[in-house]
Structure 1
Amino acid sequence: MRKVLMGNHAVSYAVRLARAEVVAAYPITPQTQIVEMLSEFCAEGSLDATFIKVESEHSAMAACIGAASAGARAFTATSSHGLLLMHEMLHWAAGARLPIVLVNVNRALGPGWNVWTEQTDSLAQRDTGLMQVYCESNQEALDSVLQAFRIAETVRLPVMVVLDAFILSHTEEPVDVPSQEEVDAFLPRYEPEWRLDPADPRAFNMLVPPEHYMELRLLIQKAMDDALHVAAEVDAEYGRRFGRSYGIVEAYRLEDAEIALVTAGASSGTARVVVDELRSQGVPTGLLRLRLFRPFPARAIARLLSRVDKVAVIDRNISFGHGGIFAAELKAALYHEPQRPMVFEFIAGLGGRDITPATVRGIVGYLQGHDQPPASPLWWEVKA
């Protein structure tokens, strides 16, 4: 069924289609409409789930941990400082191998107080053990949530689906909402091998001494490694069933590109338009869109960029004292390649500042005029 939905409501429809059994909710702009609509679904009976109103985002993830430990399909959503407050529990969810799905609507961190889009909040959680998926459109947000439950329950790791504040969360787009029967065939009921059950008592997440702790951490790393293949397989199956697939990383017009733009999230659509425009002018430009960030698809990225001369990474985030987070990850992925492109780092769009076609054109123009990247990231379109 075709509907016109804002990104937040596309997520809500996906959670209902996934038949989530527990939703833990604490409101924060700009994700609040996700849990508001889910509360309406629960109230009207179209979603048979326990809706838990908690006192904080930390408690929201704690409630999901309890629910998933008991074998329930659990969901929550947050943004920005709410995600930071969840941080401790994110480590617990991953360490306990719980397939919770979390949606984070990217929002800049304060102070100064800001409710607009920036990816630093989610990227700051990159070492927690959560998988991370970045969406370009409202349709992709719906599809990614459905895929996330399937992936999480296969590899037994939590997944965070990420979309941009306001640009996606509050902007309405046509979205194809699949039928419940179609989704049920793709995402069957969750049946965990182990769960908290009074009829079959077991102990979980006890004290682990040094002689066993490293082995448990290695299992999480192996699950992350497996998740690369699982995510690709789930996406491919989703494409066969629903006619839409995205890959773990997307290459657009990269076959003969000399300059590649690297983006993630909604700004990818802007970059795509500029690539087409520049191609029509004879400028061999392409786009690499990062969709799956954790686990990081290093080999796929290295292969796709192997013939490119120059790469411009547009980071809508900042790791203070270092630079852009995507650029750092991409450079590490290319380090061992015998033939690798020059990587130019651009910090742009922080705090919701628009990344416009003119922004992207200017970045490409900079690459055309410089043979070597500067030693530090370029803060693009910063006021003097």
Structure 2
Amino acid sequence: MLKQIEGSHAMAEAIALCRPEVICAYPITPQTHIVEGLGELVKEGALVDCEYINVESEFAALSVAIGASAAGARAYTATASQGLLFMAEAVYNASGLGLPIVMTLGNRAIGAPINIWNDHSDAMSMRDAGWLQLFAETNQEAVDLHIQAFKLAEELSMPVMVCVDGFILTHAVERIDIPTQQQVDAYLPPYDPVQVLDPAEPASIGAMVGPEAFTEVRFLAHYKQTLALKLIPEFSEEFSKAFGRESGGLLRTYRAEDADMLVVAMGSVCGTIKDTIDEMREDGIRIGLVVIVSFRPFPVAALRTALAAAKNVVVVEKSIAVGMGGQLADNVDVALRNLPRPPRLHSSVAGLGGRPITRASLHHLFRQASVQPWEGTNFLDLNERVVGREIHRTRKNRRSGPTAENILRQLGKSVPPVAE
């Protein structure tokens, strides 16, 4: 059914249609509206046979979800940014125990300094924690990915993180097709857990494992991720047949068939990139896009095939591994290895802390990549004047003060008063 609805509330309705039995809720911007929406559905009786638990922290939210899932319940939670960091120990516990929890991550920058706007720093901080990570380009895809996520999690008995861009998607109001309960029930079977804590058959989970078995445990977790490379496209195809629209999968392409240059990106920025590509195509520039949906597991083979014929590849990503570069670019580089004639790889970090990524800036970036390739990481729209002044300040004055506040003063922005 088509609705004009906020993205967060659309996701809440889709999650409710998956019949979660335990929802663990703790508010943190920008995911708060999702758990609030689910709370309203439970309160009004639209979501039945579900225990909605208000917990005292993000760590508690995932810890309670772990307990619920271990007891055989279909469990869900959501978080963002610092909340994900606070539950880091439990993030690893959930995957290490092989529990099929679904969690929405409202992507948001990680401080300090404090920043509530969107980038992908939070997801990247847990990229190797053993969860599947699926990135939504649109709110429609965010709705669809949650339904697929429960099926994937329960088939593989491993947790899935559905990553949606904070504010850009979570707070956008638009027309979204919300499935019916009958459609979701036909696609998503009742939860049949692989492991259940049952007093009638006592067992322990998460017990001490020494060197004699730990490698094998980790190998099997990795093995399930490799199985996901096959299941993700299969479940996406099943979804397309059942719901009448394509969504999910490992990756997808846009105007890539004859492209000399291919852009690789994840999340909502792909919409702006598509508009830029359309404009550049009108000027006769053969450029296309590869949208990464599954970041974990990373689709190395599929991406290698998609990029093989390009001369230039430009990775646009919303995160930075300080001291190294872009995490997505590193993974793309792995996919390009062993090609007979690999394309030139260009890495650009963009949109950190919610900075707008404009078509004008993308035009300049893509044209630069075709005529003047660069080494290392490019920072899109970096204010070099401000950076230069701050570097000069730190060299000149030992007590140069906090970088963030100094930059704000340069830009004429207000900063909190210094305590006496």
User: Given the two structures, how large is their TM-score scaled by the length of structure 2?
Assistant: 0.90
Moved more, 39-48 or 195-204: 195-204
Query: Could you tell me which amino acid in structure 1 is paired with residue 74 of structure 2?
Result: R
> Following TM superposition, by how much is the alpha carbon of 1:210 offset from its aligned partner in structure 2, in angstroms?
1.3
1:311 aligns to what? 313
In 2, Cα distance between equivalents of 1:204 and 1:134: 30
Aligned residues: 382
Query: Could you tell me which amino acid in structure 1 is paired with residue 161 of structure 2?
Result: M
1:332 to 331, 334, 344: 334
- Note if 1:124 corresponds to 2:125: yes
- Say which SS state the counterpart of residue 211 (structure 1) adopts: coil
In 2, Cα distance between equivalents of 1:114 and 1:373: 29
In 2, Cα distance between equivalents of 1:337 and 1:320: 28
1:187 aligns to what? 188
Query: Could you tell me which amino acid in structure 2 is paired with residue 303 of structure 1?
Result: T
> Following TM superposition, by how much is the alpha carbon of 1:373 offset from its aligned partner in structure 2, in angstroms?
2.9
2:19 aligns to what? 19
Query: Could you tell me which amino acid in structure 2 is paired with residue 35 of structure 1?
Result: V
> Following TM superposition, by how much is the alpha carbon of 1:367 offset from its aligned partner in structure 2, in angstroms?
1.2
1:138 aligns to what? 139
Structure 1 or 2, whichever has the larger Rg, is 2
Does the CA contact (< 8 Å) of 1:257 and 1:286 recur in 2?
yes
1:343 to 319, 330, 345: 345
> Following TM superposition, by how much is the alpha carbon of 1:199 offset from its aligned partner in structure 2, in angstroms?
2.2
In 2, Cα distance between equivalents of 1:139 and 1:26: 24
Moved more, 80-89 or 200-209: 200-209
In 1, Cα distance between equivalents of 2:37 and 2:165: 18
Summarize deviations over 1:273-302 as a string: whole Å, max 9, x none. Answer: 111111122100000111100000000000
Query: Could you tell me which amino acid in structure 2 is paired with residue 240 of structure 1?
Result: K
> Following TM superposition, by how much is the alpha carbon of 1:347 offset from its aligned partner in structure 2, in angstroms?
1.1
- Note if 1:296 corresponds to 2:298: yes
2:4 aligns to what? 4
- Say which SS state the counterpart of residue 210 (structure 1) adopts: coil
In 2, Cα distance between equivalents of 1:96 and 1:84: 19
- Note if 1:38 corresponds to 2:38: yes
In 2, Cα distance between equivalents of 1:336 and 1:67: 45
Does the CA contact (< 8 Å) of 2:157 and 2:194 recur in 1?
no
- Say which SS state the counterpart of residue 204 (structure 2) adopts: coil
Does the CA contact (< 8 Å) of 2:58 and 2:79 recur in 1?
yes
- Say which SS state the counterpart of residue 118 (structure 1) adopts: coil
- Note if 1:173 corresponds to 2:174: yes
Summarize deviations over 1:230-288 as a string: whole Å, max 9, x none. Answer: 11100010000001223210111111100111111000000011111111221000001
Does the CA contact (< 8 Å) of 1:12 and 1:35 recur in 2?
yes
Does the CA contact (< 8 Å) of 2:7 and 2:173 recur in 1?
yes
1:96 aligns to what? 97
Query: Could you tell me which amino acid in structure 2 is paired with residue 373 of structure 1?
Result: W
> Following TM superposition, by how much is the alpha carbon of 1:52 offset from its aligned partner in structure 2, in angstroms?
0.8
1:200 aligns to what? 201
In 1, Cα distance between equivalents of 2:338 and 2:45: 54
In 2, Cα distance between equivalents of 1:245 and 1:153: 22
Does the CA contact (< 8 Å) of 2:120 and 2:318 recur in 1?
yes
Does the CA contact (< 8 Å) of 2:75 and 2:101 recur in 1?
yes
- Say which SS state the counterpart of residue 336 (structure 1) adopts: coil
In 1, Cα distance between equivalents of 2:91 and 2:194: 22
1:270-289 correspondence to structure 2 within 5 Å: 270-289=272-291
> Following TM superposition, by how much is the alpha carbon of 1:368 offset from its aligned partner in structure 2, in angstroms?
2.4
Does the CA contact (< 8 Å) of 1:152 and 1:159 recur in 2?
yes
Moved more, 199-208 or 98-107: 199-208
In 2, Cα distance between equivalents of 1:308 and 1:228: 24
> Following TM superposition, by how much is the alpha carbon of 1:337 offset from its aligned partner in structure 2, in angstroms?
2.0
In 1, Cα distance between equivalents of 2:326 and 2:51: 40
Does the CA contact (< 8 Å) of 1:5 and 1:138 recur in 2?
no
In 1, Cα distance between equivalents of 2:45 and 2:199: 28
2:406 aligns to what? none
Does the CA contact (< 8 Å) of 1:342 and 1:373 recur in 2?
no
In 2, Cα distance between equivalents of 1:210 and 1:111: 37
Gaps of 5+ in 2: 386-420
Identity of aligned residues (%): 41
Does the CA contact (< 8 Å) of 1:75 and 1:102 recur in 2?
yes
1:107-256 correspondence to structure 2 within 5 Å: 107-246=108-247, 247-256=249-258
> Following TM superposition, by how much is the alpha carbon of 1:365 offset from its aligned partner in structure 2, in angstroms?
1.4
Summarize deviations over 1:51-95 as a string: whole Å, max 9, x none. Answer: 111111111000000000011110001110001111111110001
2:106 aligns to what? 105
Does the CA contact (< 8 Å) of 2:14 and 2:179 recur in 1?
no
Query: Could you tell me which amino acid in structure 1 is paired with residue 176 of structure 2?
Result: V
> Following TM superposition, by how much is the alpha carbon of 1:359 offset from its aligned partner in structure 2, in angstroms?
1.9
Query: Could you tell me which amino acid in structure 2 is paired with residue 38 of structure 1?
Result: L
- Say which SS state the counterpart of residue 382 (structure 2) adopts: coil
> Following TM superposition, by how much is the alpha carbon of 1:193 offset from its aligned partner in structure 2, in angstroms?
3.0
In 2, Cα distance between equivalents of 1:137 and 1:115: 20
1:63 aligns to what? 64
Summarize deviations over 1:164-212 as a string: whole Å, max 9, x none. Answer: 1111110111110111011001001101132011222222221112111
In 2, Cα distance between equivalents of 1:203 and 1:167: 43
In 2, Cα distance between equivalents of 1:217 and 1:368: 42
Query: Could you tell me which amino acid in structure 1 is paired with residue 23 of structure 2?
Result: V
Does the CA contact (< 8 Å) of 1:259 and 1:285 recur in 2?
yes
> Following TM superposition, by how much is the alpha carbon of 1:336 offset from its aligned partner in structure 2, in angstroms?
2.2
Gaps of 5+ in 1: none
1:258 aligns to what? 260
In 1, Cα distance between equivalents of 2:24 and 2:339: 44
1:364 aligns to what? 366
- Say which SS state the counterpart of residue 378 (structure 1) adopts: strand
In 2, Cα distance between equivalents of 1:303 and 1:8: 35
